[in-house]
Chains A and B, each alone.
Chain A
């Protein structure tokens, strides 16, 4: 068995290169699948759990589960959708445990929105604009963290993972209308929070501009 860096057994070494009788699955080439989808699964789990170690452990667990259940993958949805569905189920089970809630409260592995905001790419623009962009990202991060579990999942799948609504419905096992409803509510909250931030930043920019003008005069 292969060991992950935490000593977790990841993949049985006796993996199969299936013969003619057995159905070939996309997971037969596990190394390629991991290389392709690991960043995506990890990013989704990190945004959902906001805990680095849990996100990595569950990412490994996702691929282990997927490999174990590769025969059940019928190709009805894309492999990415299937993997995210496994990851979501694992995250849901994980966050239900009291142990996770306890460690989330006391551990230093929790993701800080300011840390995420500091990763805002420095496109062309002034330092002020970059700062405003960071504030907006931090604001969205905080707002998303405060959403209900389902609203947050729908929001992240749509805007972080860029999944289409039918795909989100497949991943979450919900009707299309329910997904839209959750997305609408999530966006309403995010919009409201952003609007205040946008007004504030607009006001700040106007104040700064006025101050600069007065100094010049």
Chain B
């Protein structure tokens, strides 16, 4: 960029027609982005050194901007101080190297939880089985015996020549039988007696 000094009215009592910095040059000097470290001074910089008016204006604006930065920073810092401080929680460390360790720990916990169940099962299964077996056997025996007796009774009853209910009629002379099977109503023979 070729610096062109321009005719501007600046601060102070400079005569009209005197050459001063252009807006662009002023901006470049103000922002300070044209000069590399160790670079030669530009014509604009040379002018600022020679021109009291431009030098004063540049210094004044730089000072004002510096004050603006300082005041803004102080204000922001003050505002930040007046607010509660953030608290970052203590962080839980989770390293990928520890993943197998986590699995081992999980398996150990699972086995620990499973072990009492196994022990309990080992102790409780045998007596229960015995009791259950004996109980089942007893019930089955009793059932079988009663079935046998019932069948025996039925069989003897069926095989009898005279059914039990007709026994009284089978031998009318037998008083014991009659007496055994007496009814509240007297028979015709009894009335005759």
Contacts and interface: CB of A to CB of B under 8 A. Distances in A.
Given A140-B64, A159-B68, A184 B23 contact: yes
Interface in B59-77: 60-61, 63-65, 67-77
B96 A20 contact: yes
B31 A165 contact: yes
Given A116-B75, A121-B71, 15 more contacts: A4-B86, A10-B86, A17-B95, A18-B95, A19-B95, A19-B97, A31-B88, A39-B80, A46-B75, A47-B72, A111-B75, A136-B68, A184-B24, A184-B27, A191-B23
A115 B73 CA distance: 12
Give the secondary structure class of A's interface. helix
Contacts of A202: 11
Contact of A136 (B24, B67, B69): B67
Interface string A187-214: 1101100110011001000000000000
Contacts of A14: 91-92, 94
Interface residues of B, number: 41
Contacts of B74: 119, 121
A137 interface: yes
Contact of B26 (A137, A140, A180, A191): A191
B89 A187 contact: no
B30 interface: yes
Interface of B: 11, 23-24, 26-27, 30-31, 33, 57, 60-61, 63-65, 67-80, 83-84, 86-89, 91-97
A90 B83 CA distance: 21
A34 interface: yes
A80 interface: no
Contacts of A188: 23, 27
A190 B67 CA distance: 14
